[in-house]
Amino acid sequence: MEFKIAWCITGAGHFLQETFDVFLKLVKSNKVEVTTFLSCAGEEVARVYGVLDKLDKISSGRYYQEIILERDQGKGFPMAGRLVRGQYLALVISPATANTVAKMACGIADTLVTSAFAQAQKGDVPAYIMPTDYKAGIVMTKLPAIIDNGICVGCDNCLPLEKCPNNAIRIVGKPTIDLMQCRGCKVCVGLCPYDAIIFGKEIKNRVRKLDEENVRKISLLEGVIILKHPSEIYDAVSSLDVT
Ligand SMILES: Cc1cc2nc3c(=O)[nH]c(=O)nc-3n(C[C@H](O)[C@H](O)[C@H](O)COP(=O)(O)O)c2cc1C
């Protein structure tokens, strides 16, 4: 028996691909129908990590399998109203940015995702939240495509620039990637003879105490379940009581 899940993507690169992989597995299991909600930043970030162009594998576009973009919604986020009307068995927010978690901790509902969360709470729909900034300290996170200026020699004919299907590479002194155009397709990575384009470079990121505290605050709200890693989503959703 299929049941419906609302999946919210916020503007976080951390664990985004991993979350996508879990939803793909869930949809392929034919157990769930997924409606995907993207915040404005979520749409941008999913694009540069190459996830936006893969979402149609999860969202057929049919009723309750749509991709809902914040930028298409009015200020009242009418589609978030589905949560209070009991259309979904659960809401999953993964990855959840520090920004979205902070807003939810304060009861603010002024974006598509925070509004969906508020409506879920009002409709007694459980919310599974996977915050990127979970515990204060250093975490490793992956960048989208970047050109390493130390490696790039600035060829006269830059092949990645010529062949980028999205015209996302510009010369600003040296070639640089315009993240507002990049779709994370990685075509450029294999074209640079000097391997100067790196996708998924790991960097250190400090999680603030403030963000950890906000996670603690939302964990105390009724119906909120905090997840530490996207791999926990599969079991959480699979064990939902459909009766
Ligand atoms: C490439 C990229 C990756 C980002 N990754 C994260 C992240 O992992 N965690 C986070 O809290 N913010 C991250 N941000 C910053 C958020 O996108 C930004 O705070 C935004 O305002 C969040 O809006 P939202 O919470 O409505 O989606 C990232 C931004 C960019 C451009």
Tell me the domains of the chain and their CATH numbers: 3-137+206-238 (3.40.50.1950), 145-199 (3.30.70.20)
3-state SS class at 206: strand
Q: Strand locations in 1-97, DSSP E?
A: 3-9, 32-38, 67-69, 90-96
Q: What pLDDT sits at residue 241?
A: 74
CA angle 72, 183, 40 (to 5 degrees): 30
Q: What pLDDT sits at residue 4?
A: 96
Q: Read off the pTM.
A: 0.96
Determine phi and psi for 56, rounding to 5 degrees: -65, -15
Under a CB-based contact definition with an 8 Å cutoff, are residues 188 and 197 in contact?
Answer: yes
Give the position, in ligand 1's atom list, of the atom nearest the Cα of 114: 26
Alpha carbon distances (Å) from 29 to 2, 58, 63, 128, 222: 10, 11, 19, 20, 29
41 lines ligand 1 (CB under 6 A): yes
Which DSSP letter does residue 124 get?
Answer: T
Give the position, in ligand 1's atom list, of the atom nearest the Cα of 113: 26
Distance CA 46, CA 54 (A): 9
- Quick count: other Cβ atoms within 10 Å of Cβ 107? 11
Q: Length of the chain, please?
A: 243
Q: Residue 164 C-alpha to ligand 1 middle, in angstroms?
A: 25
Residue type, 15: F
Residue type, 73: Q
3-state SS class at 42: helix
Give the position, in ligand 1's atom list, of the atom nearest the Cα of 141: 8
Q: What pLDDT sits at residue 209?
A: 98
In the predicted model, what is the mean pLDDT of the chain?
A: 96
Q: What pLDDT sits at residue 18?
A: 97
6: nearest Cα among 130, 125, 131: 125
DSSP string of 107-156, one letter each residue: T---SHHHHHHHHHHHTT--EEEEESS-SSEEEEEE--SEE-TTT----S
Q: Residue 8 C-alpha to ligand 1 middle, in angstroms?
A: 14
Q: What pLDDT sits at residue 1?
A: 60
Q: What pLDDT sits at residue 43?
A: 98
Q: Residue 133 C-alpha to ligand 1 middle, in angstroms?
A: 11
Residue found under tokens 């299991």: 29
Can you list the residues of the chain whose pLDDT is less than 70?
Answer: 1
Distance CA 57, CA 24 (A): 7
14 lines ligand 1 (CB under 6 A): yes
Distance CA 196, CA 243 (A): 54
Q: Residue 100 C-alpha to ligand 1 middle, in angstroms?
A: 9
